[in-house]
Amino acid sequence: MRNGGDLVVETLTELQASTVFGIPGQHALGLFDALTRSKLQFVSSRVENNAAFAADGYARATGQPGILFVSTGPGALTALAGIQESYASGVPMIVVSSQIPEAGLGGRRKGMLHQLDDQKESARNVTKSQETVHKASSIPYVIEDAWRTAMTAPQGPVWVEIPQDVLLQSTSVPPPGAIDMQLHQPQPHGGSIEQAARILAAAKRPAIVAGGGVHRSGSATEHLRQLAELISAPVICTPGGNSAFPYDHPLSMGGWIEDNYVTEALEDADVLLAVGTSLGEVSSNYYTLQPRGEIIQIDAHVRVLESNYSGLGIRSDASSAMQKILQALETSGDIPTSNWHGKTAEQFVADVRQRINDRLASQDLAHELGVMRSIRTALPDDALSYWDMTIAGYWAWNMWDARTGAMHSGQGAGGIGYGFPAAFGGAVGQQRVLAVSGDGSAMYSIAELAAAKQHNLPVTWLIIDDGGYGILREYMQDTFGEATATELARPDFVMLSESFGVPAVATNAAELETALQTAWAADGPNVVVLQTTLAMWQPTHQQSASTP
Ligand SMILES: Cc1ncc(C[n+]2csc(CCOP(=O)(O)OP(=O)(O)O)c2C)c(N)n1
Ligand SMILES: [Mg+2]
C-alpha cells in the first residue's frame, strides 16, 4: 500500500536525493515506513539538533540539499537551533516534519501528543518558507517547490509539515515521474553590472572580500579568481568564504580577517567589492572596518545589500554577477592597473601577510601555531574539516589553508556542538572527514558517537580539552577579572568513546600530528583527545571599536 509518506520519498528520489537524516516519532512513522520502499539511505542521529547539523554538513560537502525528517512538537523544536546554522549560512536543506492529525490543527487545544499552537510559526525564524500539507495530491508539488526554494540563491532550509493522517492514508496519487530540475538563479540587472564595471575600471586600489555566498554559487570561485587576476585585486575570504580563493595565491591576503592590517588594507582600497558576505561582525573585524572607497556588494539576499555599509548593491547569484562584470570589463577593454602607493598588488599583499606574521610572532603563541600546524600537516591536501565554536576553530577561521579541500564551521549562527555531527554528515559517502571540538562543545554531540559507530562513518574527531568553556573563561577574566560558570566536570573522553565502540587515544601537542595521521589511516569513526589550553591572539579590534 502506498501512502502520503511514499509520495514524499518518491519525490525526493526523483529530485536525486540519496540520503535522509533525522529521528522518527509517532506521527512521522508513515514517512519512515516509506523509506523501506525506497533507495534512500537513512542516517540516524540521537538528538534532532545534531541531525540538522548532519544534514547541513552533508549539504556543504555535496552541494545537494540536506534532507531532514523529524517528528512533531519537541522533535521539530529541538531541530531548530541546528537549522538556524543552515539559515544563517545559506545552506540548502529540506526539513520534512510530521504534524498532529488534521483535526487538531489551527491551535485547537485538543491535548494531542506533541501538539503545538502553530508549529510552522516556530520554524519561521530559521527557514526560507513553511508549508503545511493538507492533501496527498499536493505532496509531490510541495516537495518539488521546497527543493527549488532551498536550492535557489540565497540557498537555505525550507520547512514542510505533514499531518500524521495525511502521511498514513493510502493514496492513488501517482509518483511524480521526471521533474524539470532546472533552477533559475537570481540575475543582476544590466544597469548595475555596467555601473560596477565602470567603477572597477576606474579603480586604482580595488580589493575583494569573498564570503560564503561564493561557495554556494556554481562556478563562482573560478570567476572570483579570474576577476581578481584581471583587476589585480587583493582578496580576503571571510570564515564562511574560507577557500573561495586559493589561500596561497599571490593576491590572497590569507585569512586574517580579524587582523587590522587586513582591515586597514580594505579601508585603503578605493573600490571594495564584497561578494556573498554581509560584511558582518567577524568579517568587518567587529565593525571596526570603515571603508573609505566605493563599495560594490553582490549578494543573492536583498536584505544583505547595504545592511552594514552603503554602496552599489547588486542582488544576484555570485557566479552570474562576477561573470557578467568580467565580460563587461573585457568587452570595454578598460582594465584598471592597480597601484598600491607605488607597489604592485602582489607586493602589497606580501607586505600585509608579513606584518601579520610578525605580529603573531611577537606574541607568546608558538604553542597555538604549533597545534594548528600539526593538524594541517597531518591531513591530506583535499581533507574536509568541520570546526566547532572552540578556540582552535577561531584560529582556523583566520589561518586554515584548506588547500584543495574545504573547511566549514558553525559560525553562521555560532551554536556549539556543530563540529562532530556536521562532520559525520559530510562523511556520508565521502572520504574521511575531520571534526574539531572543545570539551564543552563535544558534550553537545557526544551521543552522536553512537550514530557514527552505527553507520561506520569515516570521521576523526579531535577533542581539545581545556577543562571548560575556554573562550568564555578568557573573556570573563579579561573583562571582570574572574571567570564564572566556565569550569566543567568532564568525562574521560577516551573511555567514553571506547564504550561506544569508537577507538580513542589521548595525545599531547608534540604527538598530535602522529596521532591524527594514525587515526586518519584507520577505518570508521575514531577520537583523538588533546588535553591542552589554547590561547587567543591579542585582538586588534578592541581599541577602536565602533558600530557603523
Ligand atoms: C548552543 C550554544 N550555547 C552556548 C553558547 C555559548 N558558548 C560559546 S563558546 C562556548 C564554550 C565552548 O567551549 P569549548 O567547546 O570547550 O571550547 P573552548 O572555548 O574551551 O575552546 C559557549 C558555551 C553557544 N555559542 N551556543
Ligand atoms: Mg573547552
Asked whether residue 115 is assigned to any structural domain, the reply reads yes
**Cross-strand bridge partners of residue 384:** 406, 433
Rounded to 10°, the helix 419-427/48-62 angle is 50
Domain CATH for 58: 3.40.50.970
Contact 488, 413 (CB under 8 A): no
**In sequence order, what are the residues at sequence separation of 6 or more whose Cβ sits closer than 8 angstroms to the Cβ of residue 409?**
239, 386, 387, 388, 389, 393, 396, 397, 418, 419
9 with 150, same domain? yes
Is the confidence at residue 221, as pLDDT, over 80? Answer: yes
What does DSSP say about strands 271-275 and 235-237: parallel, antiparallel, or unpaired? unpaired
Asked whether residue 543 is assigned to any structural domain, the reply reads no
Q: Which amino acid is at 380?
A: P
Ligand 1: residue of 80, 416, 446 to mutate (most ligand atoms within 8 A of CB) is: 416
Going across the sheet that includes 157-163, the strands are 41-44, 19-22, 66-70, 93-99, 157-163, 130-132
Range of the domain at 161: 4-168
200 with 91, same domain? no
**In sequence order, what are the residues at sequence separation of 6 or more whose Cβ sits closer than 8 angstroms to the Cβ of residue 136?**
3, 4, 7, 166, 169, 171, 173
For ligand 1, atom 10: residue with the closest CA: 469
pLDDT tens, 378-413? 999 999 999 999 999 999 999 999 999 999 999 999
Q: What pLDDT shows up at residue 517?
A: 98
**In sequence order, what are the residues at sequence separation of 6 or more whose Cβ sits closer than 8 angstroms to the Cβ of residue 72?**
25, 26, 27, 28, 97, 98, 99, 100, 113, 114, 115, 116, 119, 164
What mean pLDDT comes out for the span 145-174? 98
Q: Is the CB of 239 under 6 A from ligand 1?
A: no
What mean pLDDT comes out for the span 495-501? 98
Contact 127, 83 (CB under 8 A): yes
Ligand 1: residue of 389, 411, 444, 532 to mutate (most ligand atoms within 8 A of CB) is: 389
From the CA of 418, how far away is ligand 1's center (Å)? Answer: 11
pLDDT band at residue 485 under the 50/70/90 scheme: very high
Q: Is the CB of 471 under 6 A from ligand 1?
A: yes
Q: Write down which residue in 168, 198, 215 finishes a domain.
A: 168
371 with 343, same domain? no
224 with 340, same domain? yes
Asked whether residue 263 is assigned to any structural domain, the reply reads yes
From the CA of 518, how far away is ligand 2's center (Å)? Answer: 24
b/e sequence 60-99, b meaning 16+ C-beta within 10 Å:
bbbebbbbbbbbbbebbbbbbbbbbbbbbbbbbbbbbbbb
How many independent structural domains does the chain possess?
3
Q: Is the CB of 440 under 6 A from ligand 1?
A: yes
Asked whether residue 173 is assigned to any structural domain, the reply reads no
33 with 149, same domain? yes
The C-alpha cell at 274 is 564584497
For ligand 1, atom 9: residue with the closest CA: 389
Contact 76, 49 (CB under 8 A): no
Asked whether residue 472 is assigned to any structural domain, the reply reads yes
Alpha-carbon span 235 to 470, nearest angstrom: 31
**Is residue 336 left, alpha or beta, with left meaning phi > 0 and alpha meaning psi from -120 to 50?**
beta
Alpha-carbon span 186 to 181, nearest angstrom: 16
212 with 78, same domain? no
pLDDT tens, 97-108? 999 999 999 999
Domain CATH for 242: 3.40.50.1220
Which CA distances in Å does 79 have to 83, 157, 180?
6, 12, 30
From the CA of 539, how far away is ligand 1's center (Å)? Answer: 19
Q: Is the CB of 439 under 6 A from ligand 1?
A: yes
**In sequence order, what are the residues at sequence separation of 6 or more whose Cβ sits closer than 8 angstroms to the Cβ of residue 284?**
263, 308, 548
Asked whether residue 48 is assigned to any structural domain, the reply reads yes
Is the confidence at residue 164, as pLDDT, over 70? Answer: yes
From the CA of 367, how far away is ligand 2's center (Å)? Answer: 16
pLDDT band at residue 81 under the 50/70/90 scheme: very high
**In sequence order, what are the residues at sequence separation of 6 or more whose Cβ sits closer than 8 angstroms to the Cβ of residue 512?**
371, 374, 375, 378, 528, 530
pLDDT band at residue 547 under the 50/70/90 scheme: very low
Q: What pLDDT shows up at residue 543?
A: 61
Asked whether residue 439 is assigned to any structural domain, the reply reads yes
Tell me the residues surrounding ligand 2 (ion) with CB < 5 Å.
438-440, 466, 470
From the CA of 531, how far away is ligand 2's center (Å)? Answer: 10
34 with 152, same domain? yes
122 with 31, same domain? yes
Q: Write down which residue in 301, 330, 351 finishes a domain.
A: 351
Continuous H helices in 164-317? 164-168, 190-201, 212-215, 220-231, 260-268
394 with 494, same domain? yes
From the CA of 469, how far away is ligand 1's center (Å)? Answer: 6
The rounded percent of the chain whose pLDDT value lies above 70 is 99
Ligand 1: residue of 372, 466, 469, 486 to mutate (most ligand atoms within 8 A of CB) is: 469
Alpha-carbon span 509 to 511, nearest angstrom: 6
pLDDT tens, 1-42? 899 999 999 999 999 999 999 999 999 999 999 999 999 999
**Is residue 306 left, alpha or beta, with left meaning phi > 0 and alpha meaning psi from -120 to 50?**
left
**Ligand showing the shortest atom-to-Cα distance for residue 411:** 1
Asked whether residue 548 is assigned to any structural domain, the reply reads no
244 with 297, same domain? yes
Contact 418, 386 (CB under 8 A): yes
What mean pLDDT comes out for the span 119-135? 98
Query: What SS3 class is residue 345?
Result: helix
226 with 326, same domain? yes
| 476 phi, psi to nearest 5 deg | -70, -40
What mean pLDDT comes out for the span 234-259? 96
Alpha-carbon span 374 to 395, nearest angstrom: 13
From the CA of 327, how far away is ligand 2's center (Å)? Answer: 49
Q: Which atom of ligand 1 is nearest to the CA of 437?
A: 15
pLDDT tens, 415-449? 999 999 999 999 998 899 999 999 999 999 999 99
Is the confidence at residue 546, as pLDDT, over 90? Answer: no
499 with 369, same domain? yes
For ligand 1, atom 26: residue with the closest CA: 415
Q: Is the CB of 467 under 6 A from ligand 1?
A: no
The C-alpha cell at 85 is 546554522
The C-alpha cell at 481 is 577579572
From the CA of 359, how far away is ligand 1's center (Å)? Answer: 27
Q: What pLDDT shows up at residue 78?
A: 98
Contact 410, 389 (CB under 8 A): yes
Q: Which amino acid is at 298?
A: I
Long-range contact pairs involving 337-344 (C-beta distance under 8 Å, separation at least 24): 337/232, 338/203, 338/204, 338/205, 338/206, 338/231, 338/232, 338/233, 339/204, 339/205, 340/205, 340/268, 344/232
Q: Is the CB of 218 under 6 A from ligand 1?
A: no
Query: What SS3 class is residue 153?
Result: coil
From the CA of 441, how far away is ligand 2's center (Å)? Answer: 7
Nearest one of 484, 489, 483 to 465, comparing CA atoms: 489
Q: Write down which residue in 322, 351, 380 finishes a domain.
A: 351
